[in-house]
Amino acid sequence: MDITDLKKQFIALYGGDETGLRVFFCPGRVNLIGEHTDYNGGMVFPCALSFGTYLVIRPSGLPALRFASTNFDFKATVELDAITEKLPGGAWVNYPLGVINELLAAGLNPSGQDLLYAGNIPNGAGLSSSASIEVLTAYAFNELYGLGLDRIELVKASQRAENRFVGVNCGIMDQFAVGLGRKDAAIRLKCDTLEYELVPVVLGDYRLIIANTNKRRGLADSKYNERRGECDRAVEELSKAGRIEFLCELSVAEFEKRQHLISSDVIRARARHAVSENERVKVAVQELKAGNLKAFGALMNASHDSLRDDYEVTGIELDTLVAEARKIDGVIGSRMTGAGFGGCTVSLIHKDAIADFKEKVAANYTAATGLVPDFYVAEIGDGAKEILS
């Protein structure tokens, strides 16, 4: 992102000069393993990316917040005495507005500001462009108004904004990853306690390549909420043998002992995914720490297969990208990442195989689906920060 150019765009839009401008950044994320475990009280293992969302902001002296983005045409002026209301048809503006609302409870008393957002995360690709804009806003307002919240509080406020204001019942993983990520590390996060550890991602000659299905994620949010409901039902039925709060409290062995309590095969399969995925994350982190990349890749493969067969959140696009990726010599693991139903895959690949991967996977994916994929070699970057020039 060219910050000088972004500041120029800000001035072209709102007037004035560079005096008083501040610039903040928050990344997107890719999850390496641990999918649909966060709201089941389990483990995840995401990392922040080097691309993300930028915010240029300056006090305006007006009794309003003015929102604009270089990514969307929609702009909004929200009077300070109307910030608690969701903007009808407000699209992306409801993400920052939701966060500002959560910060009111933490003592924020906002004054007029002009804001210009600019992101280079592919939109709707499941790389957490929404968490990025949320945590970016939380981080910036915390700094500007000296609210004194720590990163975990900012992350929680951002998740609440998405749950309550935007209306997507997401877990904590995405906001946590973009808020607390660190360059060249992944975060092993236990989502019920928020106990976490930064684990260095040392890949030697291997790289992480992200492949975007470029499928529109039409029903993703409703399907996501449906899966959450299925997990709640499984918790209820499994609790007949002793109360549990979350599926991931059970080990695979404990789950196997209790699984007969679940009356439906579909619900049992959903629960089996959450429980087995949670154990895969624990093993995968150990393997990565020990430098066993092939074993880590095998667990990525098993994760995808479980998401495909037991959790049923993949679909033809993700499954094709993964199947084609696994055919490439030099790929040692490939899986969907994020919520599923479209979005992206992540593959662990020898650096010398990247060109071959891009060519063959693209050709075969397009032949099977009619869609053209995009590829990004992932660089693991830092979480939210101010850009000081």
Residue by residue, DSSP assigns 187-211 as EEEETTTTEEEEEE---TTEEEEEE
Question: Which residue, 116 or 336, is less far from ligand GLA as judged by CB?
Answer: 336
CB of 338 within 8 A of CB of 213?
no
Among 38, 310, 317, 382, binds ligand GLA (CB under 6 A): 38
Q: How far apart are CA 385 and CA 25, in angstroms?
A: 5
Question: Stretches 34-42, 114-122, 357-365, 367-375: which one binds ligand GLA (CB under 6 A)?
Answer: 34-42
Min CB(168)–ligand GLA separation in Å: 7
Would you count residue 277 as binding ligand GLA (CB under 6 A)?
A: no
Q: How far apart are CA 79 and CA 67, in angstroms?
A: 11
Task: Report the site for ligand GLA in 97-126 (rule: CB under 6 A).
Answer: none
Cβ within 8 Å of residue 46, ≥6 positions away: 29, 30, 31, 32, 34, 173, 174, 176, 177, 181, 186, 187, 189
Among 39, 45, 92, 365, binds ligand GLA (CB under 6 A): 39
Check if 174 is active-site.
yes
Q: How far apart are CA 22 and CA 42, in angstroms?
A: 37
Q: CA 197, 155, 128, 339 torsion: positive or negative?
A: positive
Question: Which residue, 60 or 128, is less far from ligand GLA as judged by CB?
Answer: 128
Beta bridge partners of 25: 54, 385
Q: How far apart are CA 380 and CA 8, in angstroms?
A: 28
Beta bridge partners of 58: 114
Among 49, 170, 187, 199, binds ligand GLA (CB under 6 A): 170
Binding mask 178-217 vs ligand GLA (x if CB under 6 A, - otherwise)?
Answer: ----------------------------------------
Among 102, 114, 134, 174, binds ligand GLA (CB under 6 A): 174
38, 114, 174, 310: the active-site residue = 174
Backbone phi, then psi, for 148, in 5-degree steps? 75, 20
Neighbours of 12 (CB within 10 A): 9
Question: Which residue, 178 or 321, is less far from ligand GLA as judged by CB?
Answer: 178
Question: Which residue, 38 or 114, is less far from ligand GLA as judged by CB?
Answer: 38
Residue by residue, DSSP assigns 123-136 as TTSSS-HHHHHHHH
Min CB(107)–ligand GLA separation in Å: 27
Q: How far apart are CA 6 and CA 54, in angstroms?
A: 9
Number of residues counted as binding ligand GLA (CB under 6 A): 10
**Alpha-carbon separation of residue 15 from 76, 183, 336 (angstroms):** 17, 35, 44
Binding mask 325-364 vs ligand GLA (x if CB under 6 A, - otherwise)?
Answer: -------------xx-------------------------
Min CB(336)–ligand GLA separation in Å: 10
Min CB(174)–ligand GLA separation in Å: 5
Min CB(35)–ligand GLA separation in Å: 4
Question: Which residue, 171 or 181, is less far from ligand GLA as judged by CB?
Answer: 171
Question: Which residue, 7 or 335, is less far from ligand GLA as judged by CB?
Answer: 335
Backbone phi, then psi, for 65, in 5-degree steps? -105, 125
The footprint of ligand GLA (CB under 6 A) covers 35-36, 38-39, 170-171, 173-174, 338-339
Active site residues: 174
